[in-house]
Structure 1
Amino acid sequence: MMRNQAQTFRLPEIRDKRPKVATLLLNQNKFYPDGRPRPYAGNTIICHLPQQGEQSSFFNVLLDMYRDVLAQGFSGKLALLPPSSYHMTVLDGLNDGLRTRPSWPEALARTAPMPSCDQWVKDRLGTFHYGLDLPIRMRPARPDPSYDGKIPHIRLEPADHVQERMLAGLRHALAAHMGMKEPRPGSYVFHTTLAYQVRSFADHEAAEFTRFMMQWQDVMNRTMPEIRLGAPELCFFSDMYAYHRQFFHHMIA
């Protein structure tokens, strides 16, 4: 934990109201059981976290968390992501795992090879413009046992209602521009992922993992300054280790 900032986080007795949906083969579509990344190609719209300068505080605290994860008994059940890949997703693009979902663009064949899908998305988004004041301002959300402590990510939320409306509008506009049905409108959970679980936890490991994630969510919520992100980027990826920027989206204030 962060020196002099970590406090024992006591989990309140709040029932998890979410449906019990098992993670797809514990992410075996993206990773081997030993944590190596599988080929998993696609495209996405993200904001990479600033890694240098005065806006790098969130990235640096995530590095502390990464170091802390390595010291935990459950770490061998996780596939840790390279810190260079840390980002916040704005809108999921296309990948093989989404071909059967309603969000797939009607104008694009579901059988199109992924390189063709990448180029189609790139051509479409090359003409996308949106009035969004930069930077995008986020903050770590207050820990909530009904959401947090189950996935190795830090949940984020817009810094204020203005940011919330702008980001909701941006997601809707991006989806509409590509002819996609926006997934989970109004309920999307912004986050930064540190790892994927690839093997089942023993009961004691699951309890330790939940407490660990809740404690870090709490520390970041209480201590982190506002997170400021740049313009969203269209990125291509071949696996979960790296997201290759194609261009920044045009944001018109």
Structure 2
Amino acid sequence: MTTDLASPTDSPETLHNRAMEALTGGGAETGQPSSITGPGGGGKFTPEGAVLPWPGNTFIFHIDKASPAYSALCQVQDALMAQPLASHFTYLPQPSFHMTVFSGVGGEPLDPDDWPEGVEKGLPLAEVTRIFIERLAGFSAPAGLRISLPHLHAGYSMMVRPEGAEAEERLRRLRAQLRELTGLSRADHDGYRFHVTLAYRLRFMTKEQAEEVIRKCAEILAPHREALSDIRLGPVEFCQFEDMHAFKPKALITDGGLVQL
């Protein structure tokens, strides 16, 4: 779910309020986000920031490592890692920077409640990946979508703005096509907020700490706005992963169809 993230349609006040709620937990009783648990607890990272096994598959666009945008994102993350409250986050490897267009199955163990229709529950991840590739046979999707990253949300995520109504419509249509082809429906399908994750929150903050992080976000992003204002996406990558640190492409969805790797 992405309800804690920012949207291109949010007002400045809403952006600030969303960041405050994300960083303080909005009164959450656990003291930490749901993705943070001990080993075997179903989370993606430990409270100390160590990555945990959380296998799955997903459809993403990696940020081109030769692009000015990738260099800018690396510099933004470097600055975030140097800010005083950096220990409240665990930072992702820079080569993993990507935008998710549609999430597949995932979890440790794989979540049976988010399961594709017509696929036997409990199958190994590799078998689900194989079935998805079979279902994608003959499907094509043009590359070249353009996005910008205009807002650094709460010190851990970049908001994605598709450049123009056509790009937004194409992304939403692509999500709908992947839902139909994979047979996997999610509650956040229509309201999903596209983003590029730079870090995960480890624990919630005081309001004063959250205000400081929000202030630093504006300061850190300012010199990189131009480099992040026009990003061309390549083909969709269908990836399998073992944790949140690396996403290995299994196939590309090109304008000529599916290309297995």
Shorter-chain TM range is 0.7 to 0.9
Q: 2:111 aligns with which of 99, 113, 132?
A: 99
3-state DSSP class of the match of 1:225?
coil
Instruction: Tell me whether 1:45 sits opposite 2:59 in the alignment.
Output: yes
Paired with 1:207 and 1:73, the residues of 2 have a C-alpha distance of 12
Change (3 A) 1:117 1:67: same
Contact map agreement 1:154 1:217 (CA 8 A) in 2? no
Contact map agreement 2:60 2:99 (CA 8 A) in 1? yes
* Residue 190 of structure 1, CA deviation: 1.0
Which range moved further: 80-89 or 26-35? 26-35
Contact map agreement 1:149 1:214 (CA 8 A) in 2? no
Paired with 2:58 and 2:173, the residues of 1 have a C-alpha distance of 17
3-state DSSP class of the match of 2:87?
helix
* Residue 131 of structure 1, CA deviation: 4.5
* Residue 214 of structure 1, CA deviation: 4.5
* Residue 158 of structure 1, CA deviation: 0.8
Q: Could you say which residue in structure 1 is the equivalent of 2:146?
A: 137
Q: 1:75 aligns with which of 69, 79, 86?
A: 86
Q: 2:49 aligns with which of 35, 49, 59?
A: 35
Post-superposition CA distance 1:181-231 (Å, at most 9, x none): 254343221111001011332443222222233455666556633100100
Q: 1:84 aligns with which of 95, 98, 105?
A: 95
Which range moved further: 201-210 or 61-70? 201-210
* Residue 155 of structure 1, CA deviation: 0.4
Post-superposition CA distance 1:52-90 (Å, at most 9, x none): 1xxx11111111112111211111121100001001111
Structure 1 portions without partners, runs of 5+: 1-10
Q: Could you say which residue in structure 2 is the equivalent of 1:5?
A: none
Contact map agreement 1:46 1:234 (CA 8 A) in 2? yes
Post-superposition CA distance 1:10-40 (Å, at most 9, x none): x965584789595643533001122110011
Alignment of 1:2-41 (within 5 A): 14=14, 16=17, 20=26, 24-28=33-37, 29-41=43-55
3-state DSSP class of the match of 1:36?
coil
Which range moved further: 165-174 or 221-230? 221-230
3-state DSSP class of the match of 1:233?
strand
Contact map agreement 1:172 1:182 (CA 8 A) in 2? no
* Residue 112 of structure 1, CA deviation: 2.2
Change (3 A) 1:190 1:21: farther
* Residue 252 of structure 1, CA deviation: 4.7
> What amino acid is aligned across from residue 165 of structure 2 in structure 1?
H
Paired with 1:163 and 1:239, the residues of 2 have a C-alpha distance of 30
Contact map agreement 1:26 1:200 (CA 8 A) in 2? no
Question: Percent identity among equivalent residues?
Answer: 26
Structure 2 portions without partners, runs of 5+: 1-10, 38-42
Post-superposition CA distance 1:78-130 (Å, at most 9, x none): 110000100111111111277244x52121233223232232223323x0413
Change (3 A) 1:138 1:13: closer
Paired with 1:173 and 1:35, the residues of 2 have a C-alpha distance of 35
3-state DSSP class of the match of 2:34?
helix
Change (3 A) 1:200 1:113: same
Q: Could you say which residue in structure 2 is the equivalent of 1:178?
A: 182
> What amino acid is aligned across from residue 130 of structure 1 in structure 2?
S
Alignment of 1:158-197 (within 5 A): 158-197=162-201
Paired with 1:235 and 1:36, the residues of 2 have a C-alpha distance of 22
3-state DSSP class of the match of 2:216?
helix
Paired with 2:160 and 2:227, the residues of 1 have a C-alpha distance of 14
Contact map agreement 2:236 2:253 (CA 8 A) in 1? yes
* Residue 152 of structure 1, CA deviation: 0.7
> What amino acid is aligned across from residue 61 of structure 1 in structure 2?
A
Contact map agreement 1:26 1:199 (CA 8 A) in 2? no
